[in-house]
Structure 1
Amino acid sequence: MGFATKKSRGWELRQLLWTFISIAMFIPLPVHIYPFVMLSQARQSKVRSWYVTGAALLMVELALFASFVIFWGAMSQAMILTLCGYTVSYIVGNGLLLNRSKPYLQRLELSEVRDLRWIPSIASQKRLELQAMTLDTPQLFIERLMHWRKEINNAAIHRNIDKIIHLFTLLEKNDKIEAEKFLVRHSTVVNVLMKYDEIENAKLNNSVTLDSKKKLEEVITQAAIAIEQEVTNQFQYGILDVSAESDVYIQTLKNRNLLKD
């Protein structure tokens, strides 16, 4: 498991390859590459503030390059300031890339489960999550499940969370209205995971905490079983509807003498 996601460390390092390349390229050719890395990461993770920052710093780099060309050939004070500007820009830009590594990786991990929507910033997304404690949106529900999967050290719960995410994704694709009802019915799952993590972090290995963890683990197991049955029922209803429609269609063709009995 990686430092920011449930993916492997190798996967995380591959996603951050251009961040490392940007850090290694101290000399601008003719500008530093970190603004382009920022813009690419903003597009992949769909964070508007990152896009704006990347575009603004690209303008700064282009302005520094123009200044470098204008004052080329003379070690004037303006040239010295330009070189200092390049250095400061390199430090600030790559510092931002490193600071954003964790949320960037988490957004990429989330994109493998569902399509991302554009958000103003990572901070605003976190505030939205705190404000929406009573009723999740589909994306917030999955984000929370993935968050607690990362925090909890229990392989059985990991498997059940993965199962619930997969089932919910299937349900949402099949029937968005039922998916919204699902969020109301199963919002307790997130609360159970939160409580399990709280007990786990307390590191109190006594009969009370062990029994509590076992009970919460059973709740998650039963929830996964019930959710699987619920999604199966929804697919069954859909199959029955299509089957009835198909029977009517075939009978209509027979009535018009287009098919033989």
Structure 2
Amino acid sequence: MGFATKKSKRWELQQLAWTFISILMFVPLPVHIFPFVMLAQARKSKIQSWYATAVIFLLVELTLFASFVYFFGTLSQAMLLTLGGSVTSYIVGNGLLLNRARPYLQRLELAEVRPLAWIPTAASRNKMQLLPQAVLDTPQLFIERLMHWRKEIDNRAMHRDIDKIIHLFQLLEQNDKMEAERFLVRHSTVVNVLMKYDEIENSRLNNSVTVESKKKLEDVIAKAAIAIEQEVTNQFKSGILDVSAETDVYIQSLKNRNLLNE
């Protein structure tokens, strides 16, 4: 487990390699590289505000470089301001990269599960995850909710059940997108259960009421994983039967045309 995702620490460090390179490259050549790292991360994570910030910092860096060239060879106040601006830009820009490391890694983790959609800000993603379940989920938001609460919950058995539900939902969505939409309505309670379980965990109360409540919620998620597996299996079984009937007709037509021996 990494510090921000369920992936390994090695994976997380690999994804943040350019962040560390940017920090090490203090000297601009001719500008600092952090705006380009920001642009790359914005494209991968599909966060609009990050893209806008990267463009602004790139313009600032280009302006500072132009100022440096213009005042080169002089020890004027303008040159000192240019150098000070460059240092400030480096510190603020790389500070932002470090501050965004957690949401960036979490977006990359989600991208391995399903294609990302553009969102305005990283904060808007967190707000959407915590919306009441009365707000109808989209497939992406449903997966994000499950992954979010998986990180918040400490119970390893529930981690396995949540991973199983995510995998099964992926299979269902690939097989039948309309059925996946209906799935969101049928199983929306799963997210509410995870939310309540995390609330009880965070209460740090350890009495008969909280212990019994946690056991009940754990049992609900375990049973949900079993039921969802059966539901997805039934979907695949239906599809297999349809294909089987079609192939039977196909083979019979070949026999009728004397293209196959009996």
Name the TM tier (shorter chain): over 0.9
Report the residue type matching 1:28 in the other structure.
Answer: P
TM-score normalised by the chain length of structure 2: 0.95
CA distance in 1, matches of 2:126, 2:195: 16
CA distance in 2, matches of 1:128, 1:144: 8
Alignment length (residue pairs): 261
Q: Which moved more, 1:212-221 or 1:61-70?
A: 61-70
Alpha-carbon shift at residue 7 of structure 1 (Å): 2.2
- Mapping of 1:142-153 within 5 angstroms? 142-153=143-154
Report the residue type matching 2:113 in the other structure.
Answer: V
Helix, strand or coil at the partner of 2:117: coil
1:163 is matched with which residue?
Answer: 164
Alpha-carbon shift at residue 127 of structure 1 (Å): 4.1
CA RMSD after TM alignment: 1.5
Q: State the identity as a percent.
A: 75
Alpha-carbon shift at residue 132 of structure 1 (Å): 6.6
Alpha-carbon shift at residue 38 of structure 1 (Å): 0.4
- Mapping of 1:1-261 within 5 angstroms? 1-130=1-130, 133-134=133-134, 135-261=136-262
List per-residue Cα deviations over 1:199-247 (Å, max 9, x = no partner). Answer: 1111111111111111110111000000000000000000000010111
Alpha-carbon shift at residue 251 of structure 1 (Å): 1.6
Unmatched 5+ residue regions in structure 1?
Answer: none
Unmatched 5+ residue regions in structure 2?
Answer: none
Report the residue type matching 1:237 in the other structure.
Answer: S
CA distance in 2, matches of 1:259, 1:132: 60
CA distance in 1, matches of 2:71, 2:246: 77
Alpha-carbon shift at residue 123 of structure 1 (Å): 2.6
CA distance in 2, matches of 1:5, 1:20: 19
Q: Which moved more, 1:59-68 or 1:179-188?
A: 59-68
Helix, strand or coil at the partner of 1:32: coil
Q: Which moved more, 1:158-167 or 1:56-65?
A: 56-65
Helix, strand or coil at the partner of 2:4: coil
CA distance in 2, matches of 1:119, 1:201: 29
Report the residue type matching 1:137 in the other structure.
Answer: T
Q: Which moved more, 1:43-52 or 1:162-171?
A: 43-52
Report the residue type matching 1:7 in the other structure.
Answer: K
Alpha-carbon shift at residue 12 of structure 1 (Å): 2.0
Alpha-carbon shift at residue 10 of structure 1 (Å): 2.8
CA distance in 1, matches of 2:132, 2:117: 17
List per-residue Cα deviations over 1:117-173 (Å, max 9, x = no partner). Answer: 222222333344455732211111111111111011111000000000000001100
CA distance in 2, matches of 1:17, 1:170: 32
CA distance in 1, matches of 2:170, 2:259: 41
Could you tell me whether the CA contact under 8 Å between 2:129 and 2:144 is conserved in 1? no
TM-score normalised by the chain length of structure 1: 0.95
CA distance in 2, matches of 1:118, 1:257: 56
